[in-house]
Amino acid sequence: GIESRSLDLGYKQGSRLPFFSKDEPSPLGTADFFALNYYTSRKVKDLNGVSKKNELSFVGDQGTEGVVDPSWPICGVHWLAIVPDGLRKLLKYIQDTYTSLPIYITENGFSQMGPVQIEVADCSHFYQDTLQEVGKASVRVSED
């Protein structure tokens, strides 16, 4: 991951991220909840270890490229594909990975450009489809 990418870019000491000392407490397992901002999904294309960016960055470290499936509808802005089942899959992954944490969807939305009256139906379908997918995820619902 980041350590091998750092070495590839000439960081002789390994990872450019700090390590915890023995005296510092480990943050693993200390979260109280999982807050999720979800707007869209991407399919992932492996770049076979070749980064498109030769710089220190989140995108450069990935070694992958995000691809929008051409069958996904786009709303408002070119990068915002409507993928309600992507939210379901992500919620399932979070549940399987962090089983004891409550999940709060803190952001989600639909982008609109143009006359609002034309897109009200699209927006309504977006929220209906999104809520159905959340229901399919069998996520524990909190009353908080």
Contact by Cβ (8 Å): 98, 33? no
**What is the rounded CA–CA span in Å between residue 85 and residue 130?**
7
DSSP state of 58: H
Token pair recorded at residue 81: 């594909």
**What is the rounded CA–CA span in Å between residue 143 and residue 129?**
22
* 3-class DSSP assignment, residue 6: helix
Does residue 65 have an active-site annotation? no
Contact by Cβ (8 Å): 28, 82? no
Which of 3, 107, 119, 143 is the catalytic position?
A: 107
* 3-class DSSP assignment, residue 74: strand
Active-site residues, by number, are: 107
